[in-house]
């Protein structure tokens, strides 16, 4: 009876470890903005439209559009990052705040988006 209980506890511990590992990996990947050319309306998407980051935490921008340079440009110009086609750029924000941003090259052709830094 005692041996059976010990085995059950051990199996529960292993199950917990395998369940939490993917969550830890996701955190290490850090906040990421993905830009796609969807061909819909508007044609270009920032995803997710609203993203959370910490002050000083690297924010990665991945541009999956094979043919266009896009940018992540805060409307108050706190940050302005160009992202060439099929590439990624990382930036940090040193001051907390909610920053609406646009693409400086297609100001009316992306969905509204914001980065909330705390």
Residues that bind Cu ion (CB under 5 A): 44, 70, 103, 105-106
Rank residues 10 and 49 by Cβ distance to Cu ion and give the closer one: 49
In the complex, least distance from residue 46 CB atom to Cu ion, rounded to whole angstroms: 9
3-state DSSP helix/strand/coil percent for the chain, to nearest 5? 25, 40, 40
Rank residues 32 and 54 by Cβ distance to Cu ion and give the closer one: 32
Rank residues 33 and 70 by Cβ distance to Cu ion and give the closer one: 70
Cβ neighbors of 9 (< 8 A, separation 6 or more) are none
In the complex, least distance from residue 99 CB atom to Cu ion, rounded to whole angstroms: 17
Helix (H) or strand (E) holding 11: helix 2-29
In the complex, least distance from residue 73 CB atom to Cu ion, rounded to whole angstroms: 9
Closest-by-Cβ residue to Cu ion is 103
Integer Cα distance of 69 and 77 in angstroms: 18
**What single-letter DSSP state applies at residue 110?**
B
């Amino acid at each position: 009876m005692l041996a059976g209980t010990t085995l059950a506890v051990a199996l529960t511990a292993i199950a917990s470890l395998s369940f939490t590992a993917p969550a830890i990996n996701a955190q290490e990947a850090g906040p990421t903005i993905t830009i796609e050319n969807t061909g819909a309306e508007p044609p270009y998407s920032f995803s997710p439209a609203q993203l959370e980051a910490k002050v000083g935490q690297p924010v990665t921008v991945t541009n999956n559009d094979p043919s266009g340079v896009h940018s992540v440009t805060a409307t108050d110009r706190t940050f302005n990052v160009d992202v060439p086609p099929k590439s990624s750029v990382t930036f940090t924000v040193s001051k907390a705040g909610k920053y609406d941003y646009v693409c400086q090259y297609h100001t009316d052709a992306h969905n509204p988006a914001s980065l909330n830094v705390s």
